[in-house]
Amino acid sequence: MQLYNKLSAKERAALIEQAGKDRLTLSFYQYAKISNPKEFRDQLFVAWDRLDVLGRIYVASEGINGQLSLPADRFNEFKEHIDTIDFLKDIRLNIAIEQDNMSFLKLKVKVRNKIVADGLNDDTFDVTDKGVHVGAEKFNMLIEDEKTVLVDMRNHYESEIGHFKNAVTPDVDTFRESLDIIEEDLKEHKEDKNLVMYCTGGIRCEKASAYFKHKGFKNVFQLEGGIIEYTRQVKEQELENKFIGKNFVFDERRAEKISDDVIAQCHQCGKPADIHTNCANDACHLLFIQCDDCKKEMDNCCSTTCQEINALPYEEQKTLRKGQGNSNDIFKKGRADHLPFKKDLRNIYETLKADKK
């Protein structure tokens, strides 16, 4: 019985091309008690491998978090299967705004301690006491209220290319970092402000809203289904779109265009740009924003050093990498010192300065 992916990304891409079928990219999550995550993980892999599902799925004792793609003509089979799982029956599936047959090229179902790395001790607060879920229409009303503080629960490289109008965008590298920063900066407004949060698909807000309620915030709201579901509802209900730019996604597409606005800049030349890329030098692989002109000039690399290394014969590159881990720059997500137009650090709560005076 096959329990792990055996094909390379290149081999899988060739098979997708040969199949000539449209694929759907979607995501979902659910907090639930799973007594045996390893057994559940293996069952999912067997069932989904047969349906030609590809993607990145995390399973933990607290639930499941999945981002995946599958042939469009097998969607009903997939839905029928997850409906046989009690805690996934009739779950909302966030269908991607922009489709790409190559969004995922491997099926990876992994057991994790948590389905989102939040760094929280769940035994110290009631994780089920969540904030009020609101749809797009109510969300639009809330964020226009002067008593509302709208907070982006994503990381800096996500909000850099797109965010909601007037949103506070914490300048953090991880979800966990943002929690303490938000609490500290809003500690004087736990009762007189609406704390409204959003993220990509809603999963980070599920835990964050319960955490902030535990910390004493009285009026906590979260965008139901995140940016993905918001965009669907805006189109379906013909509402005003208040999201500016692109929504960062964690697959080969990198982002989905929500509006025509380009709010970021190329990290190498400063021109308007909002397309993330990974440095072509496998020993670096830094994620950064690069315009088409720099992509051509720099051969998809983040520096001349990486460009020179990437131009070497493959075997020579492998020799140079032997015994070496990735550069620490890979974790800087566009903040590497050699990028002249990387995102500047800033006070993330300028919107509250007047209130604090």
List the catalytic residues: 199
Residues in the chain: 357
Does an H or E element contain 259, and which?
A: none
Does an H or E element contain 116, and which?
A: none
Contact at 8 Å (CB) between 193 and 219? yes
Q: Give 151-211 as a DSSP string.
A: EE-S-HHHHTTEEETT-B----SSHHHHHHHHHHHTGGGTTTSEEEEE-SSSHHHHHHHHH
Residue 92 CB burial class (10 angstroms; 0-12, 13-18, ≥19): middle
Contact at 8 Å (CB) between 178 and 172? yes
Q: What angle do CA 104, 105, 106 make, to 5 degrees?
A: 105
Of 218, 256, 159, 230, which is closest to residue 151 (Cα–Cα)? Answer: 159
Of 332, 310, 333, which is closest to residue 321 (Cα–Cα)? Answer: 310
- Secondary structure tally for the chain: helices H, strands E: 12, 14
Residue found by looking up tokens 């013909």 in the block? 238
